[in-house]
Amino acid sequence: MTALQTIAVAFAMFSALPMPQFDWNAKNMRYALCAFPLVGAVCGALWCLCGMLPLPALARAAGFCLVPVWVTGGIHLDGYADTCDALSSYGDTAKKLEILKDPHCGAFAVIRLCSYFAAYFALCGCVQFTPRVGALWALALVGERALSGLAVAAFPLAKNTGLAHTFATAADRVNVRRALAVLCAAVAAALLALGGWALVLAAAGVFVRYYFVAKKQFGGTTGDLAGCFLQKCEIWMLAALAACQWLGVL
């Protein structure tokens, strides 16, 4: 029962899918970050379903673009938008953290979101679906969430409030780090076995940059930064996937 509640906590927080209502407590939140990658598995399954449907090319590209948004409810895009506003302020750390808490969407966030979706849609239009590509992308969607959860459990926290702090402090951080590190390694191995080395390099590069930007600009990670990382990791892996197909590697 606790395992099912743990999965439900992860889906209730990180997706828009309907979940049973119950109280969150120390037991069912302890390993919720480990269940977070399951949301990526659902996104991957629906992405593959979209790829197999007999849809026009533009409709399929739109489906590829929107499936993660529909499943997650845009929670990670919200973090991306807030982080864009904060970084564009060029203020000190305290100012950036204050902007992250502001519920309003600034001009830079709107510009970056429009640019993000234009690029994402274009890349989706470049991807030709095959069973191998579907498997690669499903693994990528799982892996990016494993990396995001690993960062929350392993990186220093920028503040003692907020989503990242709530899940990090409720987690058994040592065992969560171990479990997610093993999952990240397993996903990377599977991607490499399928020829997705470019996706692994893209994810690793974004993850390393995430650590240094979070530490230098914000003093640590937050829920918004975790969401921003996930969106950046996703679009760079998608670009790697599209590039590999264009070069004839996949």
**Spatial contact of 164 and 63, defined as CB atoms under 8 Å apart:** no
Please give the angle made by the CA atoms of 209, 95 and 105, to the nearest 5 degrees: 80
- When pLDDT is cut at 50, 70 and 90, the band that residue 89 belongs to is confident
- Does the pLDDT value for residue 221 go beyond 90? yes
DSSP category for residue 79? H
Comparing CA positions, the residue from 160, 164, 135, 158 lying closest to residue 230 is 164
HSE (CB half, 13 Å, CA atoms) of 29? Answer: 17
- Residue 102 has phi, psi (to 5 degrees) of -70, 125
The share of the chain scoring above pLDDT 90, in percent, equals 74
- Position 1 scores a pLDDT of 63
A 10 A CB-CB count for 237 gives 27
Q: Can you read off the two tokens belonging to residue 79?
A: 């973090």
Residue 233 has pLDDT above 70, yes or no: yes
**Residue 99 contacts residue 89 (beta carbons within 8 Å):** yes
Span 102-137, pLDDT tens digits: 878 888 899 999 999 999 999 999 999 999 999 999
Least confident of 77-81, 97-101, 197-201: 97-101
Mean pLDDT, residues 59-88? 94
Render pLDDT for 150-207 as a digit per residue (tens, 0 to 9): 999 999 998 887 777 778 887 788 999 999 999 999 999 999 999 999 999 999 999 9
What is the pLDDT at residue 187?
98
Q: How confident is the model over 67-80, as a mean pLDDT?
A: 94
Residue 241 reports pLDDT greater than 90: yes
What's the pLDDT tens digit per position in 9-67?
A: 899 999 999 988 888 887 888 898 999 999 999 999 999 999 999 999 999 999 999 99
How open is the CA angle 158-160-161, to the nearest 5 degrees? 105
DSSP state, 128? P
**Nearest-angstrom CA–CA distance, 115 and 77:** 13
Distance in angstroms (rounded) separating the CA atoms of residues 195 and 189: 10
Query: What is the rounded average pLDDT for all residues in the chain?
Result: 92
Q: How far is CA 111 from CA 88, 147, 157, 218, in A?
A: 11, 27, 28, 22
CA 86 – CA 157 distance, rounded (Å): 17
What is this structure's pTM?
0.94
Q: How far apart are CA 51 and CA 48, in angstroms?
A: 5
